[in-house]
Amino acid sequence: YGEAKDRVDLVLLDVIMPGMSGRETFENLRKIDPGVKVLLSSGYSLAGEASKIIAMGCCGFVQKPYDIYKLSQKIRQALNNGSGH
């Protein structure tokens, strides 16, 4: 992201990933670009870690599994007004 941030409009971030948590990744993205738009994704509910990341300024949440319509709707909301949840 750091090398191509000017070409990235939105980051779709999973809460649980190997090597680095979603929260750590979100914090690192914000260090690189405080205005980065991040849409959070998880197979778990919005409770717990996901709600903490949302409170940190993540612009939306999409629950897995999702179809292409739901994902595109959440992306559009996040890009238009930063509120995809």
The residues, any chain, with a CB within 8 Å of residue 59's CB and separated by 6 or more, are 37, 38, 39, 78, 82, 83, 84
- Please state whether the predicted TM-score (pTM) of the whole model is above 0.85: yes
Q: What is the mean pLDDT of the chain?
A: 91
Residue 14 has pLDDT above 50, yes or no: yes
Distance CA 63, CA 46 (A): 8
**CATH class name, domain 5-81:** alpha beta
Q: pLDDT value at position 52?
A: 92
Domain boundaries, the chain: 5-81
Of all residues in the chain, what percent carry a pLDDT higher than 90? Answer: 76
Least confident of 35-39, 60-64, 73-77, 78-82: 78-82
Q: pLDDT value at position 85?
A: 46
Distance CA 68, CA 52 (A): 26
